[in-house]
Structure 1
Amino acid sequence: MRRRPLLYLDASAIVKLVLVEPESVALRTVATTARIAASELVVVEVARALGRVPANQSERARVRREEQRVLAGLDLVALTRPLLTSAGRLAPPRLRSLDAVHVASALTFGTGVASFVSYDRRQLDAAADVGLTVLSPGAPVAR
């Protein structure tokens, strides 16, 4: 039996699995046939992002239930001292701290990661710079 490909998703991608955004359908199509991994950071990042979405009380409750469903299906990478040390050493120095943690988390899988999925250009560039295949399903192609 063939193993499903492993996709590493950052918070910008996970939010698109919870909410309906322009890229959501394309991302869900790719994600349905894959195992999904992410850093433990997404537990905080996704909650903070969803907290900024205007909604009435019943909609907010529905979004939180969907958030919990999506997060429960992830293989989460623990925030260990070696991982954080690795993230701190990633180039370029201007790479934002949390972006560096996501890239370092994806690297813990070695060649097992099929794609690093994000909708953050700087993070995608950093991931590509360290040899990860990057993907933003449904996003317009940058010129």
Structure 2
Amino acid sequence: MSVTSRRWVYIDTSAFVKLCWREQESDALRAHLRERPLISSVVLHIEAVRAALRRSATDVAIAQQRLRRVSRLEIAGATVSLASTILPPEVRSLDAIHIAAAKLLDADLDELITYDDRMRQAAIAQGLSVSSPN
């Protein structure tokens, strides 16, 4: 991203599903994200479609349509290396990948959005700005 462009908002799966299906925080999240550039790792794209498959074919189509708004980060070696060091050890592996991918965006990251408490705490410990609009 160039210096003059807007910074990314990294969105994890716990937040993304609120954009697909009506949940308590959905309206606040939509308002918070309006017109902002979204990004996530390929993990989101897998988790979102897997969650939709548990619901219905219509929900799969909804998730796939909404994923078009989210730029996708592939998982590179640096992401794997950093994710394996994320503490505490109780942080789930896929959440550690999300945190590492967000952290590697460095100055291009505005904030990470998650509704997962354990992930929120681990991301804050990594020095990331984290929010959960509600």
Q: Report the TM-score when normalising by structure 2.
A: 0.89
Residue 100 of structure 1: how far off its partner (Å):
0.6
Residue 30 of structure 1: how far off its partner (Å):
1.2
**Hey, what does 1:11 align to over in structure 2?**
13
Contact 2:83-2:93 within 8 A present in 1 as well: yes
> Aligned runs of 1:18-97 on 2, under 5 Å?
18-53=20-55, 60-97=56-93
Residue 79 of structure 1: how far off its partner (Å):
1.1
Residue 70 of structure 2 aligns with an amino acid whose one-letter code is L
Q: CA RMSD in A?
A: 1.5
**Hey, what does 1:106 align to over in structure 2?**
102
Residue 26 of structure 1: how far off its partner (Å):
0.7
Residue 92 of structure 1: how far off its partner (Å):
2.0
Structure-2 separation of matches of 1:5 and 1:78: 18
The gaps in structure 1 that reach 5 residues or longer are 54-59, 139-143
Structure-2 separation of matches of 1:4 and 1:81: 26
The reply to whether residue 137 of structure 1 matches residue 120 of structure 2 is no
Contact 2:14-2:116 within 8 A present in 1 as well: yes
**Hey, what does 1:57 align to over in structure 2?**
none
Identical positions, percent: 33
